[in-house]
Amino acid sequence: MTDKLSCCGIDVSHLTLDVTYQNNLGELFYLQVGNNNAGFKKLLEHTGQNCHFVMEATGVYYIRLAFFLDSLGCKLSVVNAMSIKRYIQMHLERNKTDKKDSRWICHYAIDQRPPFWQMPDSAYFECKQIYNTIREYAEQVKRFNNQLHSLKLLPFPSKETVKSIEKMKSYLEKEIDHLEVKLQVLLKKWQPEQYKSINSIKGLGKRATALLIIFTQGFKHTTNHRQLISFAGLSPTEYSSGTSIKGSNRIYKKGGKPIRDVLYMCAMNAKQTNEACKQLFDRLKAKGKTGKQALIAVMNKLLKQVFAVVKNNSLYQPNYCSTLH
């Protein structure tokens, strides 16, 4: 069914869409339109609705277009920007312009036929925005704490400056508390069973539970624990060739850094409170692994436990013998 559709590659930026599309004969044409409703309508005047639209996931800039096309029942794909980048590099392209990028995206669509995009639940968008705001506020609180620490080292710190920073810090902390309560309410309405199951795992707090549900879209496209580990950028990688190149094994960090950061702190807790994680950590340390290597293994273990309870729609059972290795 996909083969019957002409392809349209769209390079999305803040203000404009650079578009390369096929006609019925397979010939390629280019146009540029605004990244707004008027531009979207002009785009469809040229391509028609019976087209496979492909674009990169570029921050928030693609979302309005994706919603517009989805509302009309158009077929579209939102592709990881790294996939497009590697495709272009594979063809040894040396130049980069928005026009060229749209053409390469169109070629990628013709060659690869990426899967169609599925509209996430509306609750996902609201929860994600609240979580990102909490994270940003937490970063600002951290910066304020660093400022206060620096000021206290001065021989004559400004009392007004310290007072102002402490006031702003206190306000942000109250906002974080308010948003976290709101987020928990939304998550319990959107994914009550998943929230209850994940939150039952020792070592995982409310923030980690929220993060895992949000950034997997309620585990909508997660079919095994390896996908979850890869999504978090925790998959082991090997780099070797012949007898001369023997790179050390390490994790593949092309994944969710926010998830890794939160899971690392969870692993610090889980190696003491989660019996399975504690046994794993102690066993690896006894074999000579570093503390960091053992903690990464604990992070993987936590994700396996998360997938198991979500898949089985059950609470965590400390004495359960998992088949996930």
- Along the 325 residues of the chain, how does pLDDT read in single tens digits? 345 689 999 999 999 999 999 988 889 999 999 999 999 999 999 999 999 999 998 878 999 999 999 999 999 999 988 889 989 999 988 889 999 999 999 999 999 999 999 888 889 999 999 999 999 999 999 999 999 999 989 988 899 999 999 999 999 999 999 999 999 999 999 999 999 999 999 999 888 999 999 989 999 888 888 888 887 777 655 444 455 545 455 555 555 678 888 898 999 999 999 999 999 999 999 999 888 889 989 999 999 999 999 999 999 887 765 544 4
Is residue 151 classed exposed, middle or buried when 0-12, 13-18 and 19+ CB atoms within 10 A define those classes? middle
Is the Cα torsion angle 267, 270, 276, 282 positive or negative in sign?
positive
CB 116 within 8 A of CB 74: no
pLDDT of 317: 83
Contacts of residue 215, Cβ cutoff 8 Å, sequence gap at least 6: 128, 231, 256, 258, 259
Please give the model's pTM, rounded to 2 decimal places: 0.80
pLDDT of 247: 46
